[in-house]
């Protein structure tokens, strides 16, 4: 398959005003200016000057975990019977038949990071996946992609009514520390037993096993934090245990941009198009991205679906442009930056030979409220 006469924005530093892209077996095989285009393949598509972009990547959402139009029956995003559940896997909960996947894909959102919500101090493992398919196992990009943790109001409000910890920010942080200390001790006992035949391994602990890849820095922590004090608690906890981490939401980041620059964390902001539905969102503003950018911080933009439906990811980026974020940076924040943050940039987030042939063709501004993709391709297959 080959697409001709497209304005190709690779997100790799190259823009071809009149270019081509060819793909075979789901992978990009060539890309460049039209004068270098190879002979046409079996399927030829003339873009007629339209813009060709990498598939958009939503760095944080819960698509497929809270199913569209259902109540408890489709609510699989929070196991709120235990505030510490690192052993849970999004892979076992996502329903790829949820209509929202199709809507996201048709909007050009071809990859998402999804998983459990923020009711628990430690919620479980997130996964990266494509937005088209029927069998979840065949849609996986990376699993696990991160361990989800949460600070602030959500764990407090979830367990307050149960008369169970955590009902304070102190307890939320303490529960995270306690479980990480247990996992670190468990891991050390495993290493000692492996090195000394005289020592027995500790009794198998599913929760500790799930956290060993976190302690090894094989996967990062994605830690939910809206308020400035929660953001600093997230940084403190991750420094204590030398964890690789990503700040999720970072809603008050604009109030502490200079302090954040000192830590230079990876950041995912959003949802952008939401109201101030709880006290910790009182300083929410779409200008957050612009402030962080001017402070020299990189970040991705997310929808937090179903808070904002995933198909509005490009619109969220457009609103950030309206409020001070440069257009090019907005495109990066829904393509290559989220792919890098989530460790899937070897396959998605930009257009390059060897990467997945995930891309969309737009005849109008992709960040405009009036725009829809003319065509969407996932793994080289046209899905719209």
The tens digit of pLDDT for each residue in 3-36 reads 999 999 999 999 999 999 999 999 999 999 999 9
DSSP H helices, the chain, are 99-106, 153-160, 169-195, 206-215, 228-240, 257-263, 288-294, 313-322, 327-332, 336-341
Could you give phi then psi for residue 301, rounded to 5 degrees?
Answer: -110, 140
Note whether 308 and 371 are same-domain residues: no
Mean model confidence pLDDT for the chain: 97
Counts of helices then strands in the chain (DSSP H, E)? 10, 16
Whether residue 163 is found in the same domain as residue 150? yes
Percent of the chain whose pLDDT exceeds 70: 100
Residues 257 and 270 sit within 8 Å (Cβ to Cβ): no
Q: How many CB atoms lie within 10 A of CB 4?
A: 17
Give the Cα separation of 32 and 58 in Å (integer).
27
Q: Total structural domains in the chain?
A: 2
The pLDDT score that the predictor gives to residue 39 is: 84
Provide the domain limits for residue 294.
56-348
Q: Is the same domain home to 181 and 36? A: no
CATH number at residue 102: 3.20.20.140
**Which structure tokens are listed for 143?**
């699993």
Q: Is 206 exposed, middle or buried (0-12, 13-18, 19+ CB in 10 A)?
A: exposed
CA distance 267 to 327: 18
Residue 261 token pair:
């620059």
Q: How far apart are the first and last CA of the chain?
A: 15
Task: Decide if pLDDT at 70 tops 80.
Answer: no
Residue 96: band (very low, low, confident or very high) from pLDDT cuts 50, 70, 90: very high
Look at residue 72 in the predicted model and tell me its pLDDT.
Answer: 82
Are 356 and 242 within one domain?
Answer: no
Same domain, 221 and 319: yes
Same domain, 341 and 206: yes
Same domain, 223 and 274: yes
Q: Please choose, from the candidates 356, 346, 318, 347, the residue with its C-alpha nearest in 3D space to the C-alpha of residue 107.
A: 318
Model pLDDT for residues 205-237, shown as the tens digit of each residue: 999 999 999 999 999 999 999 999 999 999 999
Same domain, 175 and 135: yes
C-alpha to C-alpha distance for 118 and 296, rounded to whole angstroms: 28
CA 325 to chain centre: 20
For residues 315 and 369, is the Cβ–Cβ distance under 8 A? yes
Instruction: Say if residue 278's pLDDT is above 90.
Output: yes
Dihedral sign from CA coordinates of 123, 124, 130, 133 = negative
- How does pLDDT run across 73-94, given as a tens digit for each residue? 888 999 999 999 999 999 999 9
| Pair 37, 4: CB distance under 8 Å | yes
d(CA 101, CA 90) in angstroms, rounded, equals 15
Amino acid 150: pLDDT: 98
Task: Match 């509005």 to its residue by tokens.
Answer: 312
Residues 278 and 131 grouped into a single domain: yes
| Whether residue 71 has pLDDT greater than 90 | no
For residue 4, list its beta bridge partners.
46
The three-point CA angle 146-151-157 to 5° equals 125
Bridge partners of residue 266, in order along the sequence: 246
Distance CA 137, CA 291 (A): 39
Span of 39-48, 191-200, 294-303 with lowest mean pLDDT = 39-48
- Specify whether 372 is located in the same domain as 250: no
The answer to whether the bond into 166 is cis (omega within 30° of 0) is yes
């Amino acid at each position: 398959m080959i697409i001709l006469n497209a304005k190709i924005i690779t997100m790799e530093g190259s823009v071809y005003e009149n270019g081509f892209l060819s793909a075979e077996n789901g992978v990009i095989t060539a890309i460049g200016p039209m004068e270098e285009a190879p002979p046409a393949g079996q399927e030829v598509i003339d873009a007629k000057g339209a813009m060709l972009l990498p598939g958009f990547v939503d760095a944080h959402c819960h698509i497929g975990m809270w199913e569209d139009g259902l109540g408890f029956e489709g609510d699989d995003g929070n196991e709120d019977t235990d505030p510490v559940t690192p052993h849970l896997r999004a892979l076992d909960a996502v329903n790829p038949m949820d209509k929202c996947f199709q809507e996201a894909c048709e909007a050009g959102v071809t990859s998402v990071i999804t998983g459990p919500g923020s009711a628990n101090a430690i919620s479980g493992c997130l996964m990266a996946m494509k937005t088209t398919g029927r069998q979840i196992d065949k849609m996986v990009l990376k699993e696990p992609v991160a361990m989800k943790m949460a600070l602030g109001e959500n764990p407090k409000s979830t367990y307050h009514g149960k008369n169970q910890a955590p009902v304070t920010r102190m307890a939320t942080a303490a529960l995270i520390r306690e479980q990480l200390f247990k996992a670190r001790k468990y891991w050390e006992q495993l290493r000692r037993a492996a090195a000394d035949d005289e020592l027995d391994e500790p009794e198998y602990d599913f929760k500790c096993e799930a956290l060993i890849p976190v302690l090894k820095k094989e996967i990062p922590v994605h830690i939910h934090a809206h308020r400035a004090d929660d953001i600093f608690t997230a940084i403190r906890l991750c420094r204590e245990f030398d964890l690789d981490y990503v700040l999720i939401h970072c809603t008050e980041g604009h109030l502490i941009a200079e302090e954040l620059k000192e830590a230079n964390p990876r950041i995912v902001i959003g949802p952008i198009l939401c109201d101030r539905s709880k006290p910790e969102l009182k300083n929410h503003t779409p200008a957050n991205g612009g402030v962080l950018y001017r402070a020299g911080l990189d970040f991705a933009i997310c929808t937090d679906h179903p808070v904002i439906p995933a198909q509005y990811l490009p619109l969220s980026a457009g609103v950030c442009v309206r409020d001070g974020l440069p257009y090019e940076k907005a495109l990066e924040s829904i393509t290559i930056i989220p792919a890098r943050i989530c460790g899937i940039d070897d396959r998605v987030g930009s257009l390059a030979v060897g990467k997945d042939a995930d891309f969309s063709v737009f005849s109008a501004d992709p960040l405009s409220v009036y725009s829809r993709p003319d065509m969407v391709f996932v793994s080289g297959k046209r899905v719209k």
